[in-house]
Amino acid sequence: MFICYQLTRSPGKLVRISCDMHGTRVVQKVIEGIKSSDESLWAVSALRPHATTLMKDENGSHVVEQCFQHLLPEHRQLLIDVALAHYVELAMDRRGCCMLQACINHSTGLQKDNLMKAIASMALTLSDDTYGNYVVQYVLEHGTPSSRRLILNSLRGHHVTLSMQKYASNVVEKCLVYGGPDNYGEIVQELIRNPRFSLIAEDQYGNYVVQTALAESKGPLRAALVNAIRRHAAVLRTNLHGKKVLSAAGLKNK
């Protein structure tokens, strides 16, 4: 208890130690040993003003993870509130995007719902970000139906462009997998009705979106997708990525 008190009485020093390659292990050990409500409160009070910095730091983030594991639930929530206030900054950071996913895992009830909805509201911006796309994918895979619906609504009308972007194409694939029949049907229709459909099918990223659409769609929807591919077969046969789409559609030799 004395060590915990000594560390937390100087928050600035605590953060510096937490972000140090060796010091972080000391702080983590102290947090692992927290036994009382007072100690838990001291720790969160010292760390909370600097939580965003810690979450974005390779060493400091491990301290926050230990807080999620060992602090009282009501004190963990105080750190997650900080993440909610800075979710875009965290989502677009190499380490922060992982910590934001950890915040989703360790939050509950309304706090969890608010965090996922906030991320969903910025889905269009985050989808083609180097790190933000992983957070959007995470919500699509693990989120509530309402947060998935918000993402799908945010991306509606943008799937053609997103399908040909390096990071966002992965988000579109997740939309097809986790969006449900009504939603993936709408995405497929948006793709095949667009004059640029052949460009998507032969694109280095878009071809994977089309292949995922083929894998997820059934019945008349899949037939419509195959027909759209067939109309562009001559062009697709001249392109490495297009050939993959033709093969997935069963049209390689037709």
Contact indicator for 68, 34 with CB cutoff of 8 Å:
no
Q: What whole-number distance in Å separates Cα of residue 45 and Cα of residue 7?
A: 12
* Confidence (pLDDT) at 2: 38
Please determine, for residue 208, whether its predicted confidence score (pLDDT) is greater than 60. Answer: yes
Higher pLDDT, 26 or 8: 26
Predicted TM-score (pTM) of this structure: 0.91
pLDDT mean over 20-37: 91
- DSSP code at position 136: H
* Confidence (pLDDT) at 1: 46
Among all chains, which residue has been given the structure tokens 């009382």?
36
* Confidence (pLDDT) at 11: 54
Mean pLDDT of the chain: 92
* Confidence (pLDDT) at 253: 65
* Confidence (pLDDT) at 181: 79
String of DSSP letters for 149-177: HHHHHHHTT-HHHHHTSTTHHHHHHHHHH
Q: What is the pLDDT of residues 143-162, one digit of tens each?
A: 999 999 999 999 999 999 99
pLDDT mean over 166-175: 98
Q: What whole-number distance in Å separates Cα of residue 103 and Cα of residue 115?
A: 8
Q: What is the pLDDT of residues 112-129, one digit of tens each?
A: 999 999 999 999 999 999
Please determine, for residue 240, whether its predicted confidence score (pLDDT) is greater than 60. Answer: yes
